[in-house]
């Protein structure tokens, strides 16, 4: 039986592994793979959790208040819940330094998408123009992945930006605020569409209302941010659990891969790893290896491998990420109304702005405020605490946030390189410089978003818009672009490295362009495509 070693159990790794197994390959998945704590009071709604948890402050804010966002911080409106700390905990020995970029990595079982908000948006053929194959070769895998993970939404006014695909289930029940917004959109639509080229519709999310295999449907517990105890919201660890029961699949957790070794013909032959706790070395012979450690970690692995193989590590250019801008808003129709805590917590609507170049489409995720952490919002109101709390209580049901996403392109000035120390340890240097046109692009887009909000009966309070630092969207891509032909620092259309044969990149490292959309649905589709096309029967 043919054998492939996969590195990483995130969204990319598990879907690559599933398709490779389906194609008759034996798969060994090596992973740091930190595990999640068990769900607490799994039947409880958000309000019940607050009432019935023995230590609600510890649960929601952490024993050391690590879930709290303090005044004067980075202007974020969401903190990570303390029990999700395992997802983002750094790894000893994986050193990073960055300029112009706030990198976030995960060494969890399931990776970063154990904390994602489930947004699953297909790329259009225009957005796939730089991918070196017919768009249909990737597009058909959106249906395959939706069938596996369960995606819900609708084919509506946003279909021009978010094409339909197979296995798209109807959207969840809308929360009251999202319903009001959609009603306002129907009334304001002619002007919004014509004057601002702004379209609103249902978001697409990896969450379903129906029962699926071992997963339960969404019952609107309203605790999505604190991890869905029903597994209605998809995470990659669900797929990993299913893979563990399959013949031909071996999972090796608690190991950090340090490099691959190649033969004289520059083809991979061995994977080197060490035990996370005791440092014991592990070597696996493998003629085929798939890196799915996430763009930054996979790139570091390649650079460390090239350094060991040829004595030099090049600079990888073209790092991309989506700039995100958070625009909080108040819906005047909902001031002093009761808030509905028993609702799905993440974005149920999306807002798309058409641009002359379809690849410059602007993507907004509209999240209405229900059961989130309230202190980051209260403390951002420029008044004393008592007044800010009074305003918050009266405005809670009326609050929302548009997370505006911008596209990115590969540029020489955005790069990854290695710095080595005398003891042979290496540090990954991440450098990012925004495009020269970015300030004007953000300014004109925010003007349009705020106008659109006004047409929907909302206003964006001045001074609360927050431009997130690069790196914050965690949609990293682009340093080893897939190309039909290219040099050593490119890959084939199947993600196979041109520097080391038999080494495949099945995560975002190979994307030649990054549209404004969250990329994980496309990461999974592309990983399944590579497994079928290059690891077929």
Ligand X SMILES: Cc1cc2nc3c(=O)[nH]c(=O)nc-3n(C[C@H](O)[C@H](O)[C@H](O)COP(=O)(O)OP(=O)(O)OC[C@H]3O[C@@H](n4cnc5c(N)ncnc54)[C@H](O)[C@@H]3O)c2cc1C
Using CB under 6 A, list all residues that contact ligand SF4.
207, 218-224, 228, 230, 232-233, 344-345
230's contact among ligand SF4, ligand X, none, with CB below 5 to 8 A by partner kind, is ligand SF4
Question: Counting contacts by CB under 6 A, is residue 116 touching ligand X?
Answer: yes
In a 13 Å sphere around the CA of 255, the CA atoms on its Cβ side amount to 22
Distance in angstroms (rounded) separating the CA atoms of residues 198 and 284? 53
Dihedrals phi, psi of 36, to nearest 5 degrees: -85, 145
Window 495 to 524, contacts with ligand X (CB under 6 A): 507-508, 518-521, 523
28: β partners = 5, 250
Distance in angstroms (rounded) separating the CA atoms of residues 138 and 148? 16
331's contact among ligand SF4, ligand X, none, with CB below 5 to 8 A by partner kind, is none
Distance in angstroms (rounded) separating the CA atoms of residues 402 and 222? 19
Among 101, 107, 329, 504, binds ligand X (CB under 6 A): 107
218's contact among ligand X, ligand SF4, none, with CB below 5 to 8 A by partner kind, is ligand SF4
User: CB-based burial of residue 514 (10 Å sphere; 0-12 exposed, 13-18 middle, 19+ buried)?
Assistant: buried
The window from 10-18, 134-142, 356-364, 463-471 that contacts ligand X (CB under 6 A) reads 10-18
Closer of 15 and 223 to ligand SF4 (Cβ): 223
Distance in angstroms (rounded) separating the CA atoms of residues 379 and 382? 8
Extract the tokens encoding 369: 């405020």
Contact string 250-269 vs ligand X (x = CB under 6 A) = ------xx------------
Question: Counting contacts by CB under 6 A, is residue 350 touching ligand X?
Answer: no
Window 460 to 499, contacts with ligand X (CB under 6 A): 474-475
Dihedrals phi, psi of 69, to nearest 5 degrees: -105, 120
Number of separate helices (H) and strands (E) present in the chain: 12, 21
Question: Counting contacts by CB under 6 A, is residue 103 touching ligand X?
Answer: no
345's contact among ligand X, ligand SF4, none, with CB below 5 to 8 A by partner kind, is ligand SF4
Closer of 288 and 370 to ligand SF4 (Cβ): 370
Question: Counting contacts by CB under 6 A, is residue 235 touching ligand X?
Answer: no
- Taking the complex as a whole, the smallest distance from the CB of residue 105 to ligand X amounts, in Å, to 6
- Taking the complex as a whole, the smallest distance from the CB of residue 214 to ligand X amounts, in Å, to 21
Question: Counting contacts by CB under 6 A, is residue 165 touching ligand X?
Answer: no
With H, G, I as helix, E, B as strand and everything else as coil, classify residue 138. Answer: helix
Window 301 to 330, contacts with ligand X (CB under 6 A): 301
- In degrees, rounded to 5, the angle at the alpha carbon of residue 212 between the alpha carbons of residues 211 and 215 is 80
Please check whether residue 111 is in contact with residue 405, taking contact to mean a CB–CB distance below 8 angstroms. Answer: no
- Taking the complex as a whole, the smallest distance from the CB of residue 488 to ligand X amounts, in Å, to 21
- Taking the complex as a whole, the smallest distance from the CB of residue 36 to ligand SF4 amounts, in Å, to 14
Beta pairing, strands 349-353 & 151-153: unpaired
219's contact among ligand X, ligand SF4, none, with CB below 5 to 8 A by partner kind, is ligand SF4
Question: Counting contacts by CB under 6 A, is residue 106 touching ligand X?
Answer: yes
Residue-wise DSSP of 258-284 = EEEEE-TTSBEEEEEEEETTT--EEEE
Question: Counting contacts by CB under 6 A, is residue 139 touching ligand X?
Answer: no
Please check whether residue 282 is in contact with residue 28, taking contact to mean a CB–CB distance below 8 angstroms. Answer: no
Q: Which of 86, 16, 145 is nearest to 495 (CA)?
A: 16
| Residue numbers at the binding site for ligand X (CB under 6 A) | 7-13, 30-33, 106-108, 111-113, 115-119, 256-257, 292-294, 297, 301, 474-475, 507-508, 518-521, 523
């Amino acid at each position: 039986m043919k054998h492939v070693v996969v590195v990483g159990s995130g969204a990319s790794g598990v879907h690559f592994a599933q398709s490779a197994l389906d194609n008759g390959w034996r798969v060994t998945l090596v992973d740091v793979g930190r595990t999640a704590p068990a769900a607490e009071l799994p039947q409880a709604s958000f309000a019940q959790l607050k009432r019935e948890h023995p230590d609600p402050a510890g649960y929601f804010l952490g024993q050391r208040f690590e879930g709290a966002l303090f005044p004067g911080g980075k202007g974020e409106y969401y903190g990570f819940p303390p029990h999700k700390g395992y997802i983002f905990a750094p790894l000893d020995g994986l050193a990073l330094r960055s300029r112009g970029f706030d990198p976030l990595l995960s060494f969890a079982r399931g990776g970063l998408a154990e904390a994602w908000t489930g947004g699953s948006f297909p790329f259009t053929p225009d957005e796939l123009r730089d991918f070196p194959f017919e768009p249909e070769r990737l597009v058909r895998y959106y249906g395959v992945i939706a069938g596996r993970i369960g995606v819900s939404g609708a084919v509506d006014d946003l279909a021009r930006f978010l094409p339909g695909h197979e296995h798209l289930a109807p959207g969840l029940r809308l929360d009251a605020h999202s319903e009001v917004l959609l009603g306002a959109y129907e009334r304001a639509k002619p002007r919004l569409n014509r004057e601002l080229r702004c379209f609103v519709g249902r978001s697409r999310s990896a969450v379903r209302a129906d029962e699926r295999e071992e997963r339960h449907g969404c019952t609107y517990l309203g605790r999505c941010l604190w991890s869905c105890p029903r597994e209605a919201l998809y995470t990659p660890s669900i797929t990993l659990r299913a893979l563990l029961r399959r013949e031909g699949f071996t999972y090796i957790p608690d190991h950090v891969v340090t490099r691959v070794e190649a033969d004289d013909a520059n083809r991979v032959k061995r994977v080197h790893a060490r035990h996370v706790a005791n440092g014991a070395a592990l070597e696996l012979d493998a003629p085929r290896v798939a890196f799915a450690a996430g763009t930054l970690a996979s790139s570091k692995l390649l650079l460390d491998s090239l350094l060991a193989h040829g004595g030099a590590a090049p600079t990888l250019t073209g790092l991309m990420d989506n700039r995100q801008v958070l625009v909080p808003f108040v819906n005047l129709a909902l001031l002093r109304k009761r808030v509905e805590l028993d609702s799905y917590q993440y974005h149920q609507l999306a807002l798309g702005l058409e641009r002359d170049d379809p690849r410059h489409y602007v993507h907004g995720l509209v999240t209405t405020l229900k059961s989130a952490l309230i202190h980051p919002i209260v403390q951002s109101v420029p008044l004393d605490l008592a007044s800010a709390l009074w305003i918050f209580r009266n405005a809670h049901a009326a609050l929302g946030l548009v997370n505006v996403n911008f596209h990115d392109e590969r540029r020489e000035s955005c790069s990854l390189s290695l710095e080595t120390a005398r003891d042979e340890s290496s540090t990954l240097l991440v450098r990012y410089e925004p495009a020269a046109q970015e300030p004007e692009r953000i300014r004109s887009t925010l003007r349009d978003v705020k106008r659109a909000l006004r047409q929907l009966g909302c206003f964006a309070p001045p001074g609360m818009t927050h431009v997130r630092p690069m790196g914050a969207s965690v949609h990293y891509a682009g340093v080893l672009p897939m190309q039909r032909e290219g040099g050593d620092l490119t890959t084939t259309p199947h993600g196979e490295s041109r520097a080391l044969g038999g080494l495949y990149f099945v995560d975002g490292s190979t994307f030649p362009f990054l549209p404004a959309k969250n990329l994980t649905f496309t990461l999974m589709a592309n990983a399944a495509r590579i497994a079928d096309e290059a690891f077929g029967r």
